[in-house]
Chain A
């Protein structure tokens, strides 16, 4: 195919010397793709000067092959064919950079996730060769690019002042960065404000809140916004502008905050059982674990027996996994058509911690613990389990498809009976008369559809925010400059929430510490020689002020030309499609490059 704009061709032709490097991925690729054949096919491409293979391109020897070829001047454009670019594109760009070349003369071919893991035999090898040819065709057309450097506010905003938000705010402020701590309720503390003592060691929840609260109150760098929600978000990494709406005595007041990064610490809430779930809502003596914890604070501890709702509790049944670990086909979906399939992580220890407290404080109260698996995984938690056994808590195990039945009872003088097929006693059906049934309700994320929508943050079906990658970038969200901490990501206990908060604070500190940030250079670029000032691109642009027509002198005449404000340009390319002169392109993703790739694919 020939380019219709032949007259420009001379100017745009590169003599790119492309190096192609194909990864075996230790068999992940080479078990299904004939890597040597792919290399041979690449060698036949006119633009390719060198084609090599390696067991692990991401390893140092693999990267060193690229570096050597670049340093020797054998190649000046690089293609690596390996796993998904999300894993190693930056690895190889930095290898290119270490060789003294511009990191953007690099193109990635995805032959693992999109070839060897989904295709087999000759078609897999052929497709890998084609994708390499396409990548080489693009690489030949790549130009060196330079990052856009923008000033950044040395200020971060933390949304949610539960334990994760408080810890994040304190940790960031101590690095010399100002923090706005936004809390929708009247005071910081989050769910800790509703708890009594914490499993497994029994610290008072209030003490844990106070440990942060005092520093937050006294820190010159932290501004707390209680009764406040984020109403609007504008801008980009380093330069966000938030509109905060604060409810006060005189109605709502708006505040504008300039901030460099946003940390989502919006937390979670306890699952509310539906009406009739284990007789909840139908019988007053069926309560949730958070409700039990509230009543524990009210009990004096002088009595031999726990009292709840004015009733002495002789027998108490605790049921695990209420609103958690649901299985499609066994459990009914919620109103929003979702099932809480996940484990809520914290309830087992919380149940045992409360159970031990009750057994040790009110020996007249017996406890029957009905569970699926006891998940006392953390440090000090297995001891809780052992102690519960020593405290003569009676454990009964049920299967997901045979949950305990809670019924009103007229036997004896117990208001309730709970019947379960107990896996620990050869599935014998047992009925326990009870004064109280406590449901260990799971964790659900706070409704953050507003802010998540504004920032376009991804959430799973379960409503928790999804990190970029659980191991590579566990506290980052896909929107650059937006991070997460605590239980908005998944259920976790205070220790774990504090660890994610610290990790998020470390990332924010590294991002904003310098006062400037380097952004991807993938922004629109105007070829002023071609631009005739039609303004079509300005009309098509989706961002206010990113593109404008400016007057400029050309050969003594005043003409209009399009101009890009790089820091505002999102690089979407809406302008590219409408330019009648092909005078505007997105750096690194040009139409010409795509056309070259299609040619290579069509030619295969």
Chain B
């Protein structure tokens, strides 16, 4: 299906995670026409991949899916998934975004999401949507609650056996699909490009990601998720139910050696949350959190932390110096106990690294918006309107403008929406006549 070469909107939202969806919904509800551009094959961002969320312990899917569905069905919102942004520039009164639609090798207009292709495909790949712990097929729907429900073919691993094409009831599979480029224009843009975890492989003291039972926190989210890879919490190397689980806080933050000197803001709370979920899933397991400072600052967070302590989760004020592979799949943690005791070691069955938050997208060279020394997008008025960037008509929301939890992301996204609306009202007031 060929997109028209140029499509016009009021606002282009870059990033279809919770930040982008909230900004898009708040603008669309005011009558503005919004394009949401998402690099993944589904909207929903990091949040839809989480298990449960602090401090209410609502399942992440329950909170994210309504917003995903509202955005997908909103008459003023158009979704562009599986798209790259090649450039965002201002041309006179307009923002122009050059977009490349990556080929799914499945026609989204024809695909009915029946998964027959997925069942037929003989190629198994690690499913990164499940932390790499389980397998998926080379052609598949990205994940169960993905929007849109359209299969994607992994061209790199497909062996062109033709089985998917044969079984597809709607002839949607197209091995010859090419990338397509098109342009979106709008009066404003919201950059809600989110975050990535700092990579474990950059941390030599913690084993460069090569110790089998050392995982990162997003992998643990999948182990805990109701529709996770094992449907229960098992350690990856041998499928054993872990009796002793440790969290290493600030594993990729407050650490100049990683180039991340800032606090990643969410790791304390997600570690506590995961620890609470683990103690529910594995009531007999010992859970230890090695931390420098517990930063439970949001509404209800401190109480959440105190509850975790009362539940018996052990908090050890310590800086973890080294992590080594131990015997029988165990992991040896060597740490400096800051409450006395000096250098100590402890073996755990499973260790979770609370990795830090890095920006999910670097504007340079795609977009002339400035970033700070922390590489997140610069706010030119951090006190009165944190969403303002130094590019006219362009606003930033969520983790793109610094690490942020979901609650703070959602309010910031509303704020970005209102700033975009203000900008459009000022340039071309629609006041009373607005529908």
> Is B26's CB under 8 angstroms from A507's CB?
yes
Say which residue of A203, A342, A506 sits within 8 Å of B383 (CB atoms): A203
Tell yes or no: B78 within 8 A of A by CB. Answer: no
Tell yes or no: B225 within 8 A of A by CB. Answer: yes
> Is B72's CB under 8 angstroms from A383's CB?
no
Stretch from B176-184, B208-216, B402-410 forming part of the interface with A:
B402-410
Say which residue of B27, B262, B299, B435 sits within 8 Å of A379 (CB atoms): B262
- On whether A208 and B298 interact (CB within 8 A), knowing A376-B263, A507-B414, the answer reads no
Tell yes or no: B338 within 8 A of A by CB. Answer: yes
The interface size of chain A toward B, counting residues with CB under 8 Å, comes to: 82
> How far does the alpha carbon of A139 sit from the alpha carbon of B162 in the complex, in Å?
48
> Is A56's CB under 8 angstroms from B145's CB?
yes
Tell yes or no: A154 within 8 A of B by CB. Answer: yes
Say which residue of B30, B297, B411, B426 sits within 8 Å of A509 (CB atoms): B30
Residues on the A chain within 8 Å of B70, using CB: 94
Stretch from B54-62, B94-102, B125-133 forming part of the interface with A:
B54-62
> Is B415's CB under 8 angstroms from A174's CB?
no
Residues on the A chain within 8 Å of B302, using CB: 324-325, 341-343
Tell yes or no: A218 within 8 A of B by CB. Answer: no
Closest Cβ neighbor of B432 among chain A residues: A176
Tell yes or no: A439 within 8 A of B by CB. Answer: no
> Is B383's CB under 8 angstroms from A495's CB?
yes
> Is A345's CB under 8 angstroms from B306's CB?
no
B310-325 CB mask vs A (1 if < 8 Å, else 0) is 0000000100000000
Tell yes or no: B368 within 8 A of A by CB. Answer: no
Tell yes or no: B3 within 8 A of A by CB. Answer: no
B377 to chain A, nearest CB (A): 11
Residues on the B chain within 8 Å of A373, using CB: 293-295
> Is A176's CB under 8 angstroms from B73's CB?
no
> Is A424's CB under 8 angstroms from B296's CB?
no
Tell yes or no: A375 within 8 A of B by CB. Answer: yes
> Is B411's CB under 8 angstroms from A503's CB?
yes
Stretch from B8-16, B152-160, B384-392 forming part of the interface with A:
B384-392
Residues on the A chain within 8 Å of B144, using CB: 26, 55-56, 59
Residues on the A chain within 8 Å of B431, using CB: 176
Closest Cβ neighbor of A58 among chain B residues: B65
> Is B69's CB under 8 angstroms from A377's CB?
no
B386 to chain A, nearest CB (A): 5
Tell yes or no: A457 within 8 A of B by CB. Answer: no
> How far does the alpha carbon of A176 sit from the alpha carbon of B424 in the complex, in Å?
12
Say which residue of B231, B300, B382 sits within 8 Å of A201 (CB atoms): B382
> How far does the alpha carbon of A275 sit from the alpha carbon of B101 in the complex, in Å?
67
Residues on the B chain within 8 Å of A201, using CB: 382-383
> Is B382's CB under 8 angstroms from A379's CB?
yes
> Is A464's CB under 8 angstroms from B65's CB?
no
> Is B69's CB under 8 angstroms from A63's CB?
yes
Tell yes or no: A28 within 8 A of B by CB. Answer: yes
Residues on the A chain within 8 Å of B382, using CB: 201, 379-380, 495
Stretch from A83-91, A143-151, A571-579, A583-591 forming part of the interface with B:
A83-91
Tell yes or no: B261 within 8 A of A by CB. Answer: yes
Closest Cβ neighbor of A87 among chain B residues: B62
> Is B69's CB under 8 angstroms from A60's CB?
yes
A55-84 CB mask vs B (1 if < 8 Å, else 0) is 110111101000000000000000000010
> Is A383's CB under 8 angstroms from B434's CB?
no
Tell yes or no: B416 within 8 A of A by CB. Answer: yes
Closest Cβ neighbor of B382 among chain A residues: A495
Tell yes or no: A27 within 8 A of B by CB. Answer: yes
B167-203 CB mask vs A (1 if < 8 Å, else 0) is 0000000000000000000000000000000000000
Q: How many contacting A-B pairs (Cβ < 8 A)?
A: 238
The interface size of chain B toward A, counting residues with CB under 8 Å, comes to: 86
Tell yes or no: A517 within 8 A of B by CB. Answer: no
Closest Cβ neighbor of A163 among chain B residues: B384
A164 to chain B, nearest CB (A): 11
Say which residue of A343, A423, A464 sits within 8 Å of B338 (CB atoms): A423
B312 to chain A, nearest CB (A): 16
> Is A471's CB under 8 angstroms from B406's CB?
yes
> How far does the alpha carbon of A175 sit from the alpha carbon of B432 in the complex, in Å?
9
> Is B30's CB under 8 angstroms from A513's CB?
yes
- On whether A175 and B73 interact (CB within 8 A), knowing A26-B59, A423-B317, A423-B339, the answer reads no
Closest Cβ neighbor of B401 among chain A residues: A379
> Is B384's CB under 8 angstroms from A471's CB?
no
A97-118 CB mask vs B (1 if < 8 Å, else 0) is 0100000000000000000000
A321 to chain B, nearest CB (A): 10
> Is B261's CB under 8 angstroms from A502's CB?
no
> How far does the alpha carbon of A464 sit from the alpha carbon of B298 in the complex, in Å?
13
Residues on the B chain within 8 Å of A374, using CB: 293
Chain B 231-263 interface residues, beta-carbon cutoff 8 Å to A: 231, 254, 261-263
Residues on the B chain within 8 Å of A63, using CB: 69
Tell yes or no: A504 within 8 A of B by CB. Answer: yes
> Is A83's CB under 8 angstroms from B62's CB?
yes
Closest Cβ neighbor of B386 among chain A residues: A495
Residues on the B chain within 8 Å of A61, using CB: 113, 149
Residues on the B chain within 8 Å of A341, using CB: 302-303, 306
Residues on the A chain within 8 Å of B339, using CB: 423, 426-427
Say which residue of B59, B225, B306, B401 sits within 8 Å of A327 (CB atoms): B306
Chain A 362-383 interface residues, beta-carbon cutoff 8 Å to B: 373-383
A421 to chain B, nearest CB (A): 11
> Is A510's CB under 8 angstroms from B411's CB?
no
Tell yes or no: B139 within 8 A of A by CB. Answer: no
> Is B66's CB under 8 angstroms from A88's CB?
yes
Say which residue of B26, B63, B65, B387 sits within 8 Å of A59 (CB atoms): B65
Closest Cβ neighbor of B47 among chain A residues: A471
Residues on the B chain within 8 Å of A506, using CB: 26-27, 29-30, 414-415, 417-418, 421
A19-50 CB mask vs B (1 if < 8 Å, else 0) is 00000011110000000000000000000000
> Is B31's CB under 8 angstroms from A470's CB?
no
- On whether A60 and B261 interact (CB within 8 A), knowing A345-B297, A502-B419, the answer reads no
Closest Cβ neighbor of A61 among chain B residues: B149
Residues on the A chain within 8 Å of B300, using CB: 342, 470
- On whether A510 and B225 interact (CB within 8 A), knowing A61-B113, A87-B62, the answer reads no
> Is B145's CB under 8 angstroms from A499's CB?
no
> Is A496's CB under 8 angstroms from B338's CB?
no
Residues on the A chain within 8 Å of B85, using CB: none
Tell yes or no: B87 within 8 A of A by CB. Answer: no
> How far does the alpha carbon of A83 sit from the alpha carbon of B374 in the complex, in Å?
41
> Is B226's CB under 8 angstroms from A27's CB?
yes
Tell yes or no: A472 within 8 A of B by CB. Answer: yes
Tell yes or no: A449 within 8 A of B by CB. Answer: no
> Is A28's CB under 8 angstroms from B66's CB?
no
> Is A377's CB under 8 angstroms from B414's CB?
no
Residues on the B chain within 8 Å of A423, using CB: 317, 338-339
Closest Cβ neighbor of A515 among chain B residues: B432
Residue with the highest number of chain B CB atoms closer than 10 Å, among A176, A343, A374: A343
> Is A499's CB under 8 angstroms from B415's CB?
yes
> Is B415's CB under 8 angstroms from A498's CB?
yes
> Is B410's CB under 8 angstroms from A171's CB?
no
> How far does the alpha carbon of A423 sit from the alpha carbon of B339 in the complex, in Å?
5
Closest Cβ neighbor of A98 among chain B residues: B73
> Is B383's CB under 8 angstroms from A494's CB?
yes
Q: Add 19 more A-B contacts to A56-B144, A469-B56, A471-B406 (CB < 8 A).
A: A58-B69, A60-B149, A87-B62, A98-B73, A198-B383, A325-B302, A378-B263, A378-B265, A470-B407, A474-B410, A490-B298, A494-B384, A498-B385, A502-B414, A504-B414, A505-B418, A506-B29, A509-B421, A513-B434
Residues of A within 8 A of B (CB): 25-28, 55-56, 58-61, 63, 83, 87-88, 90-91, 94, 98, 154, 163, 167, 171, 174-176, 198, 201, 203, 208, 211-212, 324-325, 327, 341-343, 345, 373-383, 386, 397, 423-424, 426-427, 464, 469-472, 474-475, 489-490, 494-496, 498-507, 509-510, 513-515
Top-4 shortest CB links A-B: A503-B414, A502-B415, A26-B226, A490-B299
A–B Cβ pairs within 8 angstroms, 10 of them? A58-B65, A87-B62, A87-B63, A88-B66, A91-B66, A167-B385, A343-B297, A373-B295, A471-B63, A503-B413
